[in-house]
Amino acid sequence: MSQRLIAISDIHGYYNEFIKLMKEIDYKKGVDKLYILGDMVDRGPESFKTLILVRNLQLQYPETVHVIRGNHDDEFLKIIKMLYNNETLDTDGWDLYAGFTGDELRTIEVYSTLLGDIDKGKLIDWLESLPLYVEDGEYIFTHAAIDPKLTLELQQSQYLLWGRYNEEKPTFVHNPVYNGRVVVFGHVCTRTIFKITGREITDDIWYDTKYYDKIGIDCGIWTGGKLGALIIKPAENKYEEVYIEHPGRTASK
């Protein structure tokens, strides 16, 4: 059996859709290489469950499950460190990144109760250990972007986590990156990338058709789009795509 590389990004708390997607792609634990490209939490209905599921999977299969920290995960880490150290919460950060209970119960008390179910220190250690990029052969997996002006070793964390995307100015998606490498990334919904690169707008996975060195896989589940999986078959030099649509979108059909 040829080993597959499976990349999923920006789950954003859509736990049920993530489970459905894993079943749809027939994920083989310990066999397939799984890359989770960050933003496991926030915006969706069950962020905390999603985070713990991914953490447990990675701890159980460390050789084949690779988890990358996204900007939302990074903000989440800052918040739980403040809670862990009994520090005063940054209210601006809290308002932006506190939607982990999945409904209107966005209070510190509810949040602290959820975190109380596990060892916060171990969760902090795990989140802090997550890399900002992982290499696998010709592929580079990261959350947001790679600065093509710098080597991988000199990349700035801010750029890897947040990137730079603008309709007027040339950005990561407009420029070649590294010769002979392919960057697989999330962070920005693919419909936005299709728009700023002048192509037909869709929620599907975006492939760079100019330089053939970038693939965007954030299909915008939290905005009503899809949760997508990019399946790479290196032995066959083939890509496959699998999608699970936002539950509201499915219900409206």
Question: Torsion angle of alpha carbons 252, 207, 242, 52, nearest 10°?
Answer: -90
- Over the stretch 49-86, which tens digit does the pLDDT of each residue have? 899 999 999 999 999 999 999 999 998 888 788 777 87
Chain centre to alpha carbon of residue 77: 15
Query: Could you tell me the two tokens for 241?
Result: 């795509």
Go through the domains of the chain in sequence order and give each one's CATH number. 5-251 (3.60.21.10)
- Over the stretch 141-191, which tens digit does the pLDDT of each residue have? 999 999 988 999 999 999 999 997 665 566 889 999 999 999 999 999 999
The backbone torsions φ and ψ at residue 127, rounded to the nearest 5 degrees and listed phi first, read -60, -40
